[in-house]
Structure 1
Amino acid sequence: MAATGRRVAMVERAALGGTCVNTGCTPTKTLVASAKVAQQARRAAEYGIVLPGEVGIDWPKVKARMDAVVARSRDGLAHSLGTTENITLLHGHSRFAGPHAVTVNGQRLEAPWIFLDVGGRAAAPPIPGLDTVPWLTNSTLLQLDILPRHLAIIGGSYIGLEFAQTFRRFGCAVTVVELAPRLIPREDEEVSAAIRAMLEAEGVAFRVGAKGLAVAPGENGVVVNLEGTPDIHASHLLLATGRRPNTDDLGLEAAGITRDGRGFITVDESLQTSVPGVWALGECNGRGAFTHTAYNDYEIVADNLLDAAARKVTDRLPCYALFTDPPLGRVGLSEAEARAAGHDILIGRRPMTRVNRAVEKGETTGFIKVVVDATTWQILGAAILGVEGDEAIHGLLDLMYAKAPAWVMQRAVHIHPTVSELIPTVMGDLKPG
């Protein structure tokens, strides 16, 4: 907007960069990288490498590296905004004073266009006893000065599992509690089972299908009570049970901006709210919970406003990754979702034990799975759990976005030896689901 000559006021009440830079992608993936190095060092002998003594974790140095990477990103944003003509950066908490007016630090600002990109925060479920014990979120866990002796995690989905593996690799005892019958129930059962087995092999403990969850103070931390199983005596408790939008303190009522029952700002296909000239982007609109969907929100709004391009939020494909090691790359429908939608499907599978690149690297956990419509040969979705799965998935994602049939990928020639080179092979081995 500033580049087009418009005067822009940007209001930030906390740290520039939001969740991704400060408490999400940037710090957590930095920790994941440190944890991977620790695990590789433990496996050094498998590769013929001899290291003296046991692997140790210098948590202050791990944390200092994480903090430095975060600061570099945040400071870069501050410099960029501070040196861009037509942008005024205001630090404070803004609230609506009318449909096209907000107040911040006692100052009233009016504009024909207002963009809300206020993000979200960790949600705390109503667990009996939670008000009697200290507990952590994905944000506060990153601030610990010492490693937990035993980290109990309530929530066996994406955030919880990434932290579970990372802190287990840092030498902590880790127990994950999940109320659902299996981990990450959004995924197909074989994905959930494979990830559980992968993490159990590293020493992560699970209590799945948990009943009667309650917490209480313990002698050296927190006690997690579950029906029918022994208590979990943890030093630290992490809640990884979902997120909620930061929309409850913006004065939306004064502007006439509507929210749904979960607190998300309601938007149309162009991300405009119930008030013309006000748009909601990112986590707060309920149309995506990732940095890449938030950035795509920006692209949609900017193209529609500045370039007269008719873009809409439903143009994009659902895609994401679980950044365990190895990672899970996902796009489109799962097998269960495709069946529920009424598709007659073909399925292609290949275990990572039959992917040369994975064998050569000594990382053969996981598999490639592709779901194709048997009538149209359109690719409906895919999951790649395995080494470089978060990168290899993009070949399928791009083909799906282009609406190209599966046989196009089958005829493609990929580079050997890579993980991606086996995707055409999988396409040539599709079978009725």
Structure 2
Amino acid sequence: MTKVVIIGGGPGGYEAALVAAQLGADVTVVERDGIGGACVLTDCVPSKSLIATSTRTTYVRESESLGINVPSGPDGKSEVEVDPNTFNPRIKRLALAQSEDTRARLVKEGVEVVAGEARLVDPHIVAVGERRIRADVILIATGAHPRELPTAEPDGVRILTWRHLYDLDELPEKLIVVGSGVTGAEFASAYQSLGSNVSLVSSRDHVMPTQDADAAQALEEVFTRRGMNILNRTRAESVTNSGTGVRATLSDGRVVEGTHCLMTVGMIPNTEGIGLEEAGVRLGQGGFVEVDRVSRTTVPGVYAAGDCTGVNMLASVAAMQGRIAMWHALGEAVSPLKLSTVASTVFTHPELAAVGASEDDVRSGRIDGRSVTLPLNTNPRAKMNEVNEGFVKLICRQHTGIVLGGVIVGPRASELILAVSVAVQQNLTVDDLAHTFAVYPSLSGSVTEAARSLMLASPE
């Protein structure tokens, strides 16, 4: 029986453990904080639970045209009240319940779960305290933690990382969010909806610079309409806690004051001090573990998955890397990781979801393709729900019509993108999508409508 030891119990680790157990291996998972790792306990699950509260709040605040009247306060704003002392404990309970559910599933499948700090002694021995566990296959899935700036060190009181948010007993009155990538945009959107006065500091020309430009612009317009103060083309040089608030000094000389500051300036892999380099595992720039497309490191028998590899830091990618590692290590047929089929979502309100090739790929000539963009405000279901922002964008190959990618901005875009993901994964054409039934009325009808537009526009 093959002995597999997995260091880290997040999505990359626990999904790998389930595959390995299914294939008959003897599996041990070592996790220091709890099964599910940071993804379940402090990051993804808690943040999306917070966003669920903020989204409901937005729907209530913006429902006047539907005949739902919300009283206004003296300042003219709706008096929808949110209670951090209710939703923050709920968020923590959900995270712990998800962690326990996942742990129970592992135990049921025969996986040994060990609590503690693990270290690689050599390519076949993992140390957990005084215990030494011999392994035929080792998977490193240790995740990452928030990057901190020496001039803006989080104190957990007023200068925060997202892992501190769920301990707050009051809603930040004036929140400064430093960093306008996916994480910064999500929390800025959420707290603006909850009622905080939000300032978002972005070092680039617009928020979410790695996303589709049209989508980023649409969301920035929504943020601005809701009252967010967006400070583009500048960086936070320093953030200080005055005792009663925070003061952020920006690179362009401006000073922004608030009650709290949330730092979202990237991630650092958890690869230091666990024996990787001593065992011969090569670390690349930033300390991330170097892996190939089947999750192998530079040491035979040692694999890595998830955020510690820096490969598209998404829970879904981590899980797939872990599964691929076990399929490969245990002799199963396996397809290498294909990032062009990865779907991702920014859980703002509205959501932004994307998969595959981008419109920039078409415009730059990297792919020979064409695209169509349909605004959601022409969709009948969107009209019924007073959805005025958002769009569906579909990209296909120029001559064959094979679907290469898509972008959706709108409610539940994270769910709507699945149809496009299936099309990209299975090499479907716009004709295939166009001839697929969509419910009427539905937002997903815009996906098939976009496909029909590309089908009718195809060259003769």
TM-score, structure 1 normalization: 0.93
Larger deviation: 299-308 or 38-47? Answer: 299-308
Contact 1:260/1:266 (<8 A) preserved: yes
After superposition, the Cα gap between the structure-2 partners of 1:60 and 1:410, relative to the gap in structure 1 and judged at 3 Å, is: same
The residue aligned with 1:63 is 88
**Number of corresponding residues:** 430
State the match for 2:76 in structure 1. none
Q: 1:408–1:368: structure 2 CA closer, same or farther, 3 Å change rule?
A: same
SS in 2 for 1:398: helix
Identity %: 27
Give 1:220's aligned residue: 244
**Greater shift after overlay, 175-184 or 297-306?**
297-306
Correspondence 1:289 to 2:308:
no
Q: Deviations over 1:17-71 (max 9, x none)?
A: 1122112221111111111222222234322134567211111011122122112
Higher relative contact order (Cα pairs below 8 Å, separated by 6+ residues)? 2
C-alpha RMSD of the superposition: 2.3
1:209 aligns with 2:228: no
Give, in whole Å, the separation in 2 of the partners of 1:211 and 1:260.
26
Change in Cα spacing, 1:83 to 1:374, as seen in structure 2 (3 Å) is closer
The worse-fitting range, judged by mean Cα deviation, of 44-53 and 157-166 is: 44-53
- 2:44: which partner in 1? 25
> Structure 2: which amino acid aligns with 1:78?
R
CA-CA distance at 1:325 after TM superposition:
1.4
For residues 165 and 50 of structure 1, what CA distance do their matches in structure 2 show?
A: 23
| Aligned residue type for 2:268 | R
Aligned equivalent of 1:395: 419
Give the 3 Å change call, closer, same or farther, for CA 202–209 of structure 1 in structure 2.
same
Residue 98 (structure 2) aligned to one of 43, 58, 73: 73
Q: How does 1:27-426 map to 2 (within 5 A)?
A: 27-50=46-69, 54-85=79-110, 87-125=111-149, 128=151, 130=153, 135-210=159-234, 213-218=237-242, 220-228=244-252, 230-306=254-330, 308-314=332-338, 317-340=341-364, 342-426=366-450
Aligned-partner Cα distance in 2 for 1:74–1:131 = 26
SS at match of 2:338: helix
2:215 partner SS: helix
Contact 2:358 2:395 in 1 (8 A): yes
Within 1, Cα distance between the matches of 2:268 and 2:364?
A: 28
Q: What CA deviation, in whole Å up to 9, does each residue of 1:219-246 have, x standing for no partner?
A: 6221112255642111111111121211
**Aligned mates of 2:235, 2:312 — CA distance in 1:** 30
CA positional deviation for 1:163: 0.6
Q: Is the 8 A contact 1:338 1:380 kept in 2?
A: no
Q: What is the deviation of 1:299?
A: 2.7
Give the Å deviation of 1:412.
Answer: 2.2
TM-score (norm 2): 0.87
- Which runs of 5 or more residues in structure 2 are unaligned? 1-19, 73-78
CA contact (8 A) 1:218 1:233 kept: no
CA–CA separation in structure 2 for the residues paired with 1:394 and 1:299? 21
* 2:295–2:322 contact (8 Å) kept in structure 1: no
Give CA-to-partner distance per residue, 1:241-260, whole Å, 9 cap, x none. Answer: 12121111211122111111
Counterpart-to-counterpart distance in 1, 2:158 and 2:236: 20
2:42 corresponds to which letter in structure 1? Answer: T
Q: Once structures 1 and 2 are overlaid, which stretch shifts more, 184-193 or 105-114?
A: 184-193
Q: Secondary structure at the match of 2:171?
A: coil
